[in-house]
Structures are given as structure tokens and as C-alpha cells.
Chains A and B, each alone.
Chain A
């Protein structure tokens, strides 16, 4: 069964460093998403991506964040200059259409020290 994969599973970085989180969505899906979950808090929407552009983003998704689909299979989330409060589990998801369910990856745990 197709699944969404994410790498790495755990990333430790120092404050101020850039990180790139990688996702491989399900191959025939058209919509791509990033969510995050800070420890002890709700899963929060960050951004949706369709047709090679951001279709919707939350207030959290400021200029420090960017997304890209560089090669038709990968979907990446970049944080330019990490802060302590960026420590969270980041989930990638994909879906065939906005009316369809989203399939989630296992997550990348980002720890900023």
C-alpha cells in the first residue's frame, strides 16, 4: 500500500541554523501539506501546496518557512533560521483532492538547542 515517507525521523539542530525536512508524498496525489505538533499541544496546520505553489498558509508560516517540490516526488519544508520554539514533530500529508482524506507520514521530530 502506498504511504507517505519522511526523512529524517529525528533532527537536532542549533538555534539559528537552517533545516530542511523532506517528504515523499503518495505518487498520484496532487495536494501536499505540512502540519506540526509542539509537545503537549494540538496538531497545527502550517501550509498547503498545489500546482507548484502555496495555496493556503497559517499565521505560523512566516518568512522563516518555505516549501518546495523540487523534482516531482519530494516535498520539502525549510526553516531558514531555527528558533527554540520551532522544536516540534512535523508531519507531511498528501491527498488526491481537497475533498479527499489526507494521508500522513510518520513525522520528523525537530529539536532545536
Chain B
């Protein structure tokens, strides 16, 4: 079985400062991990994915995440926040083994960016 824990339900930063959204996962198999973002009244958009290649993954809009197996973490970072980054972010793990791609979501982190 797999699970995801997002350690912060809300994160607030000032524009231009770094962003860190924390995620820990649990998976019986080598996991595939994703970060999705949801802007208000919009669908879920894929930010980036880790699928056992490079442990540092770069995504869209300047976001990146580092897979750390020893810490079972997949934290999302961005060097400098922009107002348009304000949204809800979901850390997601994909089941391996015989699964047909079922995704397990964390509870989400709402990012607020102050001017």
C-alpha cells in the first residue's frame, strides 16, 4: 500500500522568497511521485514527476523536487515565489506492482504569496 503525507496544510511566503512544500511518502514498490497544482476553479495540472531517473526533477514554472529515498521525501521547491504561484499543491504517489496506475494523493498544501 502507498500513502502520502504533506507536512503543511498552509504555507505563506512573500513574493521573491523561496518556496518549500514538504512531502513524505510510503510505498511498497519503487514509487513514481508527482506534484500537481490546482489553481482556483481550474483542474489539476502536472508540475513535475519522478520515475526513478534523476533524483532532482525539474518541472514547469521554475519548480523542482528532490527524491530522497533514505528520508522517503519528495519536497517541492522554488527559488523565488511569484504571485501567480498561489494555488493548492498536491504530492501524489503512483502505485506500482499490478496497479493500473491508481494515484494516491496527499491532503494538499495551500500556498499563499504576499506582495
Taking Cβ atoms with an 8 Å cutoff, the residues of A that contact B are 4, 31, 33, 35, 41-45, 48, 50, 55-56, 58, 91, 93, 95, 97-99, 101-107
Contacts A31-B100, A42-B106, A102-B46 aside, 19 further interface pairs with beta carbons under 8 A come to A4-B43, A33-B102, A33-B103, A41-B107, A42-B105, A42-B107, A44-B105, A45-B103, A48-B101, A55-B100, A58-B102, A98-B100, A99-B32, A99-B101, A101-B46, A101-B49, A104-B36, A105-B43, A107-B43
Interface size on B, residues (CB 8 A): 22
- B61 partner residues in chain A, CB cutoff 8 A: none
Taking Cβ atoms with an 8 Å cutoff, the residues of B that contact A are 32, 34, 36, 41-46, 49, 51, 90, 99-108
Q: Are B90 and A33 within 8 A (Cβ)?
A: no
Number of interchain pairs (Cβ within 8 Å) = 59
CB distance from A33 to the nearest CB of B (A): 7
A109 and B42 CA atoms in complex are apart in Å by 12
- B42 partner residues in chain A, CB cutoff 8 A: 106
- A48 partner residues in chain B, CB cutoff 8 A: 100-102
CB distance from B88 to the nearest CB of A (A): 10
- A103 partner residues in chain B, CB cutoff 8 A: 46
Q: Are B101 and A98 within 8 A (Cβ)?
A: yes
CB distance from B67 to the nearest CB of A (A): 16
Question: Which of B32, B34, B49, B101 gathers most chain A CB within 10 Å?
Answer: B101
Q: List 16 A-B contacts (CB under 8 A).
A: A31-B100, A31-B101, A33-B103, A42-B105, A43-B90, A43-B103, A43-B108, A56-B99, A58-B102, A91-B43, A91-B44, A97-B101, A99-B32, A101-B46, A105-B43, A106-B42
